[in-house]
Amino acid sequence: MKRLVLASAMLFVLVAPELRAAAKTAPKASDSLLKSLLRQAPGLRPNVLSLALTATETAAERGLVKRRDVLTVIDYSLPSSEPRLFVFNLKSRRLLFRELVAHGRNSGGDQAEYFSNDPGSLATSLGLFVTADTYVGGNGYSLRLKGLEEGINDMAMDRAIVLHGASYVSRAAIHALGRLGRSWGCPAVRREVAHRIIDTLRGGSAIFAYYPEKSWLKSSAFLRR
């Protein structure tokens, strides 16, 4: 019996360092999720998705995001002529949509360069949003967005910033203009997919709108853990 105990102790001493090393090198669940989603989302950069996941988790922990199963990422550093809206199901680790999305008229041409939270600016806002209710208005079936970042996008409701479909979001528009048409600050998508996207996102899911704007990245309360 003593020999068995001694042998077990010696085996633990020999194996323990290897177990600790394996634990250190084993990928974290978040790393695994990141890699799984990126494989399905050509054009989306790892740092952008990582920031989106961090911001969403932080907001969810504060009770600001009701639905943690769906995440939308918009990378406004990509030109409007490329798909730059990505919708993921985080539970199944699947890309649901990879779509064109317009930016505001005063944010730039094909490339967005200016962002604003001000009413009447006709510019896109950055940061973390949460989806609210739906309605049918001048742009058809639309989804209201609530901005969660003070001074960055918290005027979204007052500005009527909503996700909606638009005829100027199409390959035909890109062929004619060299870019998409532009909204008054709303993230507009193709009419053909607008209803399905809205029904997927409605009810408190997160939308993360990104651009490498230094002051926002440094000051955002959702990007610091």
Domain ranges of the chain: 29-219
Assign 12 a pLDDT band (cuts: 50, 70, 90). very low
Assign 14 a pLDDT band (cuts: 50, 70, 90). very low
pLDDT in tens, 145-195: 999 999 999 999 999 999 999 999 999 999 999 999 999 999 999 999 999
What is the dotted CATH code of the domain comprising 29-219?
Answer: 2.40.440.10
**What's the confidence (pLDDT) of residue 225?**
59
Assign 16 a pLDDT band (cuts: 50, 70, 90). very low
48 and 210 in contact (C-beta within 8 Å)? yes
Sheet with 188-190, side-by-side order of all strands: 94-99, 85-89, 70-75, 206-210, 127-137, 140-147, 162-166, 188-190
- Please report, rounded to a whole number, the percentage of residues in the chain having pLDDT higher than 70: 87
pLDDT score of 76 more than 70:
yes
pLDDT score of 47 more than 50:
yes
Q: What's the pTM value of the predicted model, to 2 decimals?
A: 0.86
Assign 93 a pLDDT band (cuts: 50, 70, 90). very high
- Please report, rounded to a whole number, the percentage of residues in the chain having pLDDT higher than 90: 85
Assign 199 a pLDDT band (cuts: 50, 70, 90). very high
145 and 163 in contact (C-beta within 8 Å)? yes
Assign 197 a pLDDT band (cuts: 50, 70, 90). very high
**What's the confidence (pLDDT) of residue 224?**
74
